């Protein structure tokens, strides 16, 4: 049964430019995230819009769209996966077989049932109960940081970005299994409850506003032609690059004397952006 809203029920759902496996992957929507189903396209595909305003086509087999399940999901408080990957168990215990693994940023629902020591009992998108390790989850409501705690939020954004170091580059990706430049920056912010534009540009309607490059601070964003990075301080920035020899999430410098200086990027900065 199709409704206007649906919930992703697979670990990673590819968002395609048009309804075909051969189409470019423009984004990845993670487990537990809600999408707005705009229309059914060809058999097995739907045109959707994410909660952060990104549009594309997905395979319908990756969506939980039963109205009762979606409404129940919307009412439940959520946990977000904060470890690079987290296994989901039917029965708690490290030696037990796991059902599947979820990447960082995925959402599961909190259960009103007490889990065993070191474990959280959770609800999956189809209503099933399951267990996950406590240390790999954080209440989604705790991700939001008050505006007055700017310095704390800046530091946290940088720490989160650094957890993606050495993640391989993947076009359209946004998980520790593979990520692109805008996927990295958007996920870092999303893990703090802030939705920025998924593309490598400042866009009206999102919280990032352009600032002079000379005023950039840790946690702010740097923009280049078709590329973006997160500034971490000391003239250094972290980004995901497909450049031969780096191929993934690395740190580079704006200091022309530094060993990791990239002139091709430092000389082509188009803008800096900040939510502060």
Using the 3D structure, point to which of 125, 141, 157 is the last residue of a domain.
Answer: 141
Q: What is the pTM of this model?
A: 0.93
The answer to whether residue 1 scores a pLDDT higher than 90 is no
- Give me the number of domains the chain comprises: 3
Using the 3D structure, point to which of 141, 158, 177 is the last residue of a domain.
Answer: 141
List pLDDT tens digits, range 209-264.
999 999 999 999 999 999 999 999 999 999 999 998 888 999 999 999 999 999 99
Same domain assignment for residues 113 and 219: no
Contact 86, 137 (CB under 8 A): yes
Catalytic residue among 181, 185, 214, 256: 181
Per-residue pLDDT at 8: 97
Per-residue pLDDT at 148: 62
Please state, rounded to an integer, the average pLDDT across all residues of the chain: 94
The answer to whether residue 120 scores a pLDDT higher than 60 is yes
Arithmetic mean of pLDDT, 99-122: 89
Same domain assignment for residues 208 and 101: no
Q: What percent of the chain has pLDDT over 70?
A: 96
Question: Annotated catalytic, 144?
Answer: no
List pLDDT tens digits, range 11-30.
999 999 999 999 999 999 99
**Of 62-71, 251-260, 267-276, which gets the smallest average pLDDT?**
62-71
Please give the residue range of the domain that contains residue 117. Answer: 76-141
Question: Annotated catalytic, 185?
Answer: no
Contact 61, 21 (CB under 8 A): no
Arithmetic mean of pLDDT, 146-150: 72
**Of 114-123, 193-202, 240-249, which gets the smallest average pLDDT?**
114-123
The answer to whether residue 2 scores a pLDDT higher than 80 is no
Q: Which long-range contacts (CB under 8 A, 24 or more apart) does 154-159 make?
A: 154/217, 154/218, 154/219, 154/276, 155/218, 155/219, 156/192, 157/188, 157/189, 157/192, 157/218, 157/219, 157/230, 158/218, 158/219, 158/230, 158/232, 158/233
Using the 3D structure, point to which of 113, 141, 169 is the last residue of a domain.
Answer: 141
pLDDT band at 79 (very low <50, low <70, confident <90, very high): very high
Same domain assignment for residues 167 and 200: yes
Question: Annotated catalytic, 239?
Answer: yes
Same domain assignment for residues 217 and 264: yes
Same domain assignment for residues 127 and 23: no
Catalytic residue among 66, 192, 227, 256: 227
Per-residue pLDDT at 237: 98
CATH number for 118: 2.30.30.40
């Amino acid at each position: 049964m199709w409704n206007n809203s649906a919930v992703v029920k697979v670990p990673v759902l590819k968002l395609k430019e048009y309804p075909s496996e051969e189409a470019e992957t423009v984004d990845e929507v993670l487990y537990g995230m809600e999408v707005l189903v705009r229309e059914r396209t060809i058999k097995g595909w739907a045109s959707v819009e994410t909660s952060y305003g990104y549009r594309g086509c997905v395979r319908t087999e990756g969506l939980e769209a039963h109205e009762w399940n979606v409404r129940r999901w919307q009412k439940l408080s959520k946990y977000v996966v904060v470890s690079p990957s987290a296994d989901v168990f039917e029965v708690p215990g490290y030696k037990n077989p796991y059902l599947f693994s979820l990447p960082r940023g995925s959402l599961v629902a909190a259960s009103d049932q007490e889990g065993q020591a070191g474990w959280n009992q959770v609800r999956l998108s189809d209503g099933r109960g399951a267990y996950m390790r406590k240390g790999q989850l954080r209440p989604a409501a705790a991700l939001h940081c008050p505006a007055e705690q700017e310095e704390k939020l800046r530091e946290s954004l940088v720490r989160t970005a650094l957890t993606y170091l050495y993640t391989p580059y993947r076009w359209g990706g946004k998980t520790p299994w593979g990520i692109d430049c805008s996927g990295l920056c958007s996920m870092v912010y999303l893990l703090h409850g802030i939705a920025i534009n998924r593309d490598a540009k400042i866009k009206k309607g999102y919280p990032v506003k352009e600032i002079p490059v000379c005023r950039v601070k840790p946690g702010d964003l740097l923009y280049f032609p078709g590329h973006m990075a997160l500034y971490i301080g000391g003239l250094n920035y972290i980004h995901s690059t497909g450049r031969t020899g780096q191929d993934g999430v690395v740190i580079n410098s704006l200091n022309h004397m530094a060993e990791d200086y990239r002139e091709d990027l430092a000389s082509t900065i188009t803008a800096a952006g900040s939510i502060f």
